[in-house]
Amino acid sequence: MIKYTPSSERTLALFQTPFEQKLSPENRWVRMAELVPWDKMAEVFFSCLSTDQGRPTVDLRIILGALMVKHVEGLSDEDTIQYIQENIYAQYFVGLSSFQIEPVFEPSLFVEIRKRLGQEGSAKLNDLMIRQAWELGVIKHKKRPGDDTPPAPPQDGVAASGTETGKKEAGPNQGTLLLDATVAPLHIAYPTDIRLLSEARRHSGRAHRPLVCLSRTTMAPKAALPAGSKKAFIQFSKKKQKDKKYIHKATGQQLRYVRRNLKTLNKMLNVLEAKKQAVCWTPREWRTLWIIQELYRQQEELFRDGRKRIDDRLVSIQQPHVRPIKRGKGGTKDTEFGPKLNVSMIGGIARADQINFNAFNEATCMEDQIEGYKSLHGNYPALVLADRIYRTRYNRKYLKDNGINLGGVPIGPPMEMSRYEKYKARKRNNKTI
pLDDT in tens, 40-81: 888 888 877 777 777 777 888 899 999 999 999 999 999 999
Q: How far is CA 252 from CA 202, 300, 306, 330, 428, in A?
A: 16, 8, 12, 30, 56
Name all contacts of 254-257 with Cβ < 8 Å and 24+ positions apart: 254/194, 254/197, 254/198, 254/201, 254/229, 255/197, 255/296, 255/299, 255/300, 255/303, 257/197, 257/201, 257/226, 257/229, 257/232
Least-confidence region, from 80-89, 130-139, 190-199, 394-403: 130-139
Mean pLDDT of 206-226: 58
In a domain, 22, yes or no: no
Average pLDDT estimate for 281-304: 91
What pTM, to 2 d.p., does this model score? Answer: 0.74
Q: Are residues 177 and 208 in the same domain?
A: no
Q: 15 lies in a domain?
A: no
- 8 Å CB contact between 139 and 373: no
Output 343 or 348, whichever has higher pLDDT. 343
| 1-10, 230-239, 397-406, range with greatest mean pLDDT | 397-406
Give just the sign of the alpha carbon dihedral 280, 282, 287, 289.
negative
* 302 CA to centre of own chain: 29
Q: Is the pLDDT of residue 312 over 80?
A: yes
Q: How far apart are CA 212 and CA 220, in angstroms?
A: 8
Nearest CA to 286 among 221, 212, 203, 353? 203
- What is the C-alpha R_g of the chain? 29
Max mean pLDDT range (9-13, 56-60, 217-221): 56-60
Entry field: residues in the chain: 433
Buried b (16+ CB within 10 A) or exposed e, 166-175: eeeebeebbb
Label residue 149 by pLDDT band (50, 70, 90): very low
Is 202 inside a domain boundary? yes
Q: Which of 254, 285, 320 is where one domain is finished?
A: 320
Average pLDDT of the segment spanning 115-134 = 85
What is the average pLDDT value for the chain, to the nearest integer? 81
Is position 20 within any domain? no
Residue 383, SS3 per DSSP = strand
Q: Which of left, alpha, beta for 403 (phi over 0: left; psi -120 to 50: alpha)?
A: left
**CA dist., res. 310 & res. 405, Å (int):** 40
Q: Judge whether 34 lies within some domain.
A: yes
Residue 200 shares a structural domain with residue 315:
yes
**Sheet containing 405-407: order of strands:** 349-356, 340-346, 176-183, 383-385, 405-407
Note whether 54 and 97 are same-domain residues.
Answer: yes
Q: Do 296 and 336 have their domain in common?
A: no
Give the mean model confidence (pLDDT) for residues 306-327. 90
Q: Which of 317, 367, 102 is nearest to 203 (CA)?
A: 317
- Return all residues near 228 (Cβ < 8 A) that are at least 6 apart: none
Asked whether residue 9 is domain-assigned, the answer is: no
Given a contact cutoff of 8 angstroms between Cβ atoms, the answer to whether 324 and 279 are in contact is no
Max distance between CA atoms of the chain, in angstroms, equals 90
Nearest-angstrom CA–CA distance, 35 and 71? 17
Q: Which residues contact 334 (CB under 8 A, 6 or more apart)?
A: 326, 327, 328
User: Residue 355 domain-assigned?
Assistant: yes
- Quick check: is 200 in a domain? yes
Per the structure, the count of domains in the chain is 3
Query: Do 155 and 224 fall into the same domain?
Result: no
pLDDT at 142: 53
Same domain assignment for residues 179 and 268: no
d(CA 156, CA 166): 7
User: Domain range spanning residue 429?
Assistant: 142-186+322-433
Strands (E), 335-404: 335-337, 340-346, 349-356, 383-385
CA distance linking residue 9 with residue 79, whole number of Å: 31
Q: Same domain, yes or no, for 110 and 78?
A: yes
Helices (H) and strands (E) in the chain, counts: 14, 7
The predicted pLDDT at position 363 comes to 92
Better-scored residue on pLDDT, 239 or 410: 239
3-state secondary structure of 49: coil
* Residue 305 sits in the same domain as residue 213: yes
Residue 372 vs residue 279, higher pLDDT = 372
Query: What confidence category does residue 83 fall into, taking pLDDT thresholds of 50, 70 and 90?
Result: very high
**Domain check: are 132 and 222 in the same one?**
no
Residues 331 and 433 in one domain: yes
Residue 224 pLDDT grade (very low, low, confident, very high; cuts 50, 70, 90) = very low
- What CATH number has the domain bearing residue 402? 3.30.420
Residue 103: its pLDDT value, please?
92
Q: Higher pLDDT residue, 138 or 214?
A: 138
For residues 337 and 186, is the Cβ–Cβ distance under 8 A?
yes
Report the distance separating Cα 180 and Cα 408, nearest Å: 14
In this structure, the answer to whether residues 375 and 421 fall within a common structural domain is: yes
Are 289 and 217 contained in the same domain?
yes
Residue 193 identity (one-letter amino acid): D
Q: Which of 320, 349, 374 is the last residue of a domain?
A: 320
pLDDT at 357: 92
